[in-house]
Amino acid sequence: MAAVVGVVGELLITGGLVLGLFVVYSLWWTNVIADREARKESDRVREHWAAGDSGGPGALDTKDGIGFLHVPSMTSGEILVKKGTDPKELNQGIAGYYTKPVKSALPQDRSGNFSLAAHRDGHGARFHNIDKIHEGDPIVFETKNTWFVYKVYKTLPKTSKYNVDVLDPVPKESGKKTEGRYITLTTCTPVYTSRHRYIVWGELVRTQDVDSKRTPPAELR
């Protein structure tokens, strides 16, 4: 009997170690890998911009990325944004704009909803601190030639992961009823789960041309 108890105990310990290693891999090592890949891709985008390549992100539909998201209240770093929300792409430590089930507008469009998604945990966890964003906070999107400055006007801490209405061109669930130039950030919630979605809405308040020194707007200084 003692031998059986000993074997069971060893199996439980082994199982705990395996589970612990899996958690370390999921929540730490995938971040390390994603951060490394994101830095490479971000450097590639900025090199294109500096070189003035016509096929660079100024076209807003390239594989390399369309620009950088800056959200001071969520992160001190920049987040590369690429086309699409395929998990394989988001796993590279980036954000992506929706092409389905609702097609996202792009920042330069005269109206619409620039809607983005990124992981909250693991794989770079770019939107991990989305709950730190509050009404009135700035969200800035940087392209090759323009800074787009948005102001957060509404957050939705919990909604169904099947609620695609939050991505509508006019996000009525946010209280808006007329066309405008909106931005929407989406990610999983609660932390370490994917049961629901956390939503942040912002509205464009102004644009600023990029100068030769790429001086950031006042909201980022």
Q: Look at 58 and 69; give whichever has higher pLDDT.
A: 69
Question: Within a domain: residue 152?
Answer: yes
Alpha helices in 25-163 (DSSP H): 30-51, 87-90
In a domain, 162, yes or no: yes
pLDDT value of position 22: 37
Domain count of the fold of the chain: 1
pLDDT, tens digit (0-9, with 9 covering 90-100), for 41-55: 999 999 989 888 645
Q: What is the dihedral of CA 207, 134, 70, 220, to 10 degrees?
A: 70
Catalytic residue among 188, 199, 200, 204: 188
Per-residue pLDDT for 152 more than 80? yes
CATH number, domain of 108, equals: 2.40.260.10
pLDDT for the residue numbered 143:
95
Concerning whether 188 is annotated as a catalytic residue, the answer is yes
Q: Is residue 139 part of a domain?
A: yes
